[in-house]
Amino acid sequence: GAGVSQTPSNKVTEKGKYVELRCDPISGHTALYWYRQSLGQGPEFLIYFQGTGAADDSGLPNDRFFAVRPEGSVSTLKIQRTERGDSAVYLCASSDLGLAGDTQYFGPGTRLTVL
Amino acid sequence: AQSVAQPEDQVNVAEGNPLTVKCTYSVSGNPYLFWYVQYPNRGLQFLLKYITGDNLVKGSYGFEAEFNKSQTSFHLKKPSALVSDSALYFCAVRAANAGKSTFGDGTTLTVKP
What distance in Å separates residue A41's CA from the closest CA in chain B? 5
Instruction: Indicate the pLDDT class of residue B7, thresholds 50, 70 and 90.
Output: very high
| Per-run averaged pLDDT (10 residues), chain A, 115 residues | 91 98 96 95 95 94 96 96 97 90 93 97
Q: What's the structural domain count of chain B?
A: 1
Q: Is the pLDDT of residue B40 over 90?
A: no
The angle at the Cα of A98, spanning A96 to A104, to the nearest 5 degrees, equals 65
Query: What's the pLDDT score for residue B86?
Result: 96
Query: What's the pLDDT score for residue A1?
Result: 56
A24-33, A43-52, B7-16, B94-103: the lowest-pLDDT one: B94-103
**Structural domain of B99:** 3-112
DSSP string, A26-69: PTT--EEEEEEE-TTS--EEEEEEETTEEEE-TT--STTEEEE-
CA distance B1 to A74: 29
Q: Write down the mean pLDDT value for chain B.
A: 94
> Mind listing the domains of chain A with CATH numbers?
16-94 (2.60.40.10)
Q: Is the pLDDT of residue B93 over 70?
A: yes
Instruction: List CB contacts (< 8 A) between B52 and chain A.
Output: 101
Taking CA–CA distances from B10, the nearest residue in chain A reads: A40
- Which residues of chain A have a Cβ shorter than 8 Å from any chain B Cβ? 4, 31, 33, 35, 40-45, 48, 50, 55-56, 58-59, 91, 93, 98, 100-101, 103-109
The mean pLDDT of B10-22, rounded to a whole number, is 98
Instruction: Indicate the pLDDT class of residue B87, thresholds 50, 70 and 90.
Output: very high
CA distance A14 to B46: 34
A12-16, A45-49, B18-22, B97-101: the lowest-pLDDT one: B97-101
CA distance B37 to B99: 20
Strand, coil or helix: what is B33?
Answer: strand
CATH number of the domain at B52, please. Answer: 2.60.40.10
The mean pLDDT of B44-58, rounded to a whole number, is 94
What distance in Å separates residue A108's CA from the closest CA in chain B? 4
The answer to whether A33 contacts B100, with C-beta atoms less than 8 Å apart, is yes
Query: What's the pLDDT score for residue B77?
Result: 98
Taking CA–CA distances from A57, the nearest residue in chain B reads: B100
- Residue B112 CB: number of other CB atoms within 10 A? 11
- Residue B3 CB: number of other CB atoms within 10 A? 12
Taking CA–CA distances from B33, the nearest residue in chain A reads: A101
